[in-house]
Structure 1
């Protein structure tokens, strides 16, 4: 089977001509768009973490097929693998930070440090935060400091990036779409379940199998998912399969049969029935609608 996918943007490709850090890019949004907009406005994935802070602008952007309206001092985040596109009106202003998966992991000696931030959950509902006025000066200060010291900052840049993430997490409630009444233990278990889905959704489709991996009963896992997300464990698994189906359908170079194979369905017709049941339209109709 052909291994073509949605266009993937590598951080090294973005910084190659500039001869700057290979694992960190900080730039004003205006200059970033001037150089990269033509190839980045269409749906694409990144291999790195990506955040944009808008200070001015109009239009919208889409993260995993959820549309958001650009607003001043809105910040959005993406983890490697998510799909997004831009559709701006004019040229917005702000800042862009791109960084590799290893940048903070190696610096902080914690392989799971970034997972504590709600906006890096991979759920598009948690990816966008509106900063209140009280946070504006501090966010700008950090961004400007990083721009000024980009070529000489060393570990200081990593400290500023960490400071920025902690600042935004503080003002974005810190827990994304998770109910405030939920205990930290339940939250960690739920996030562990979501991580397992991301790792195994192509091959593991039964809630019982995930429950076994988490050392809980299927009933306990279902009750947890209902409390945290208002859905069953099975629905969350199917949601993840559907998300990847949509991501792949955006790429016209992959046939429906190739996508079915990629997602480990028995055959094309089984995949089409699954997609239509979940989305209410056929894969072909979804692809046609999204491409216009």
Structure 2
């Protein structure tokens, strides 16, 4: 029994789901038409979006908090794996939009695909849709499906990718709405982030591990780095990296008053590998170098 089922091409995924291939680089797969199957880990070499109902067992994403129950969108970038192995059988449901990176070459979408951070969110950071939002998504799918069934002409690639781009832009708007409607949850994450920051810099971790990366706090808060970064940006107006740097400078402004320590010692204690990097960041944020700040105050 193979541990992971890999799909390198769109046609492979269509065959797995007993669906006709209308285009070699993109497909809308209606999963309820597929045969019942066992739970398996699945690896996709292309972009994959699932429109599912809450608690659909075939993805096993374990939702714990959601806003709407009309549908859930789960995004996977090329190379991601979802699911788990089990002897249990299930009937897949929902719709999958799958498209290969090669489809995007030379298109507007190809130039901005990296801006859609939700393709690297964890599956439990899914987008939960209202009824109106779900209908908009289905309308986008219908336009893509129309183009797939239309005879290929000089307009096909542009219209297909333009409709995928429209769909993803709507998803960006809906995620922004979700960040707002989850304000209580987001505030809790921000508070925990602040606690972790204070704890990190009050320990010896900066001296041992250096300056903390965004991924360090995302992992401690059980979030993907991109979702965590987008959440912090929406809540504070700063990137997570900027927020960390602000905290570093706040602490540094206090510690430079301790004249029993050299500025180099303070830099190392804050996690800087080189004192000159500390000086550069401090001057950039405060307007004067640490030495001048110490003398001025």
**TM-score calculated relative to the size of structure 2:** 0.50
1:162 aligns with 2:216: no
Structure 1 unaligned residues grouped into runs of 5+: 191-210, 221-292
Deviations 1:18-62 (A, max 9, x none): 34211111122212x33xx637x3012110111111258743524
Which residue matches 2:31?
29
Q: 1:149 offset after TM fit, Å? A: 2.6
Give unpaired runs (5+ residues) of structure 2: 151-155, 180-226, 244-271, 282-297
CA–CA distance in 1 between the matches of 2:141 and 2:115? 22
Residues 116-165 of structure 1 deviation map (CA, whole Å, 9 limit, x = unaligned): 12311254454x11012231221111112222331324421211111111
Change (3 A) 1:109 1:46: closer
After the TM superposition, which residues 59-98 of structure 1 pair with which residues of structure 2 at under 5 Å, given as runs? 59=57, 61-62=59-60, 67-68=62-63, 72-85=70-83, 91=91, 93-98=93-98
- State how 1:1-292 maps to structure 2 within 5 Å: 6-12=4-10, 13-15=12-14, 18-31=20-33, 33-34=34-35, 38=37, 41-54=39-52, 58-59=56-57, 61-62=59-60, 67-68=62-63, 72-85=70-83, 91=91, 93-108=93-108, 110-111=110-111, 113-126=112-125, 128-152=126-150, 153-173=156-176, 176-177=227-228, 178-179=231-232, 180-183=234-237, 186=239
Q: Which moved more, 1:81-90 or 1:159-168?
A: 81-90
Alpha-carbon spacing, 1:156–1:144, altered in 2? closer, same or farther (3 Å):
same
Alignment coverage as a number of residue pairs: 183
Distance 1:143 1:57, change over 3 A: farther
Superposition RMSD on alpha carbons, in Å? 3.9
CA distance in 1, matches of 2:159, 2:49: 19
Q: Could you say if the C-alpha distance between residues 189 and 149 of structure 1 is closer, same or farther in structure 2, counting changes exceeding 3 Å?
A: farther
2-structure distance, mates of 1:89, 1:5: 16
Distance 1:60 1:9, change over 3 A: closer
CA shift, 1:181, in A, is 3.5
As a proportion of its length, which structure holds more strand? 1
Cα separation, 2, equivalents of 1:148 and 1:109? 19
Whole-angstrom distance in 2 between the partners of 1:154 and 1:110 = 12
**Structure 2 CA distance for aligned equivalents of residues 59 and 143 of structure 1:** 23
- Is residue 29–residue 95 contact of structure 2 (8 Å, CA) maintained in 1? yes
8 Å Cα contact 1:57/1:93 also seen in 2: no
Contact 2:49 2:73 in 1 (8 A): yes
Distance (Å, rounded) in 1 between the aligned partners of 2:80 and 2:106: 23
**Alpha-carbon contact 1:118-1:169 (below 8 Å) kept:** no
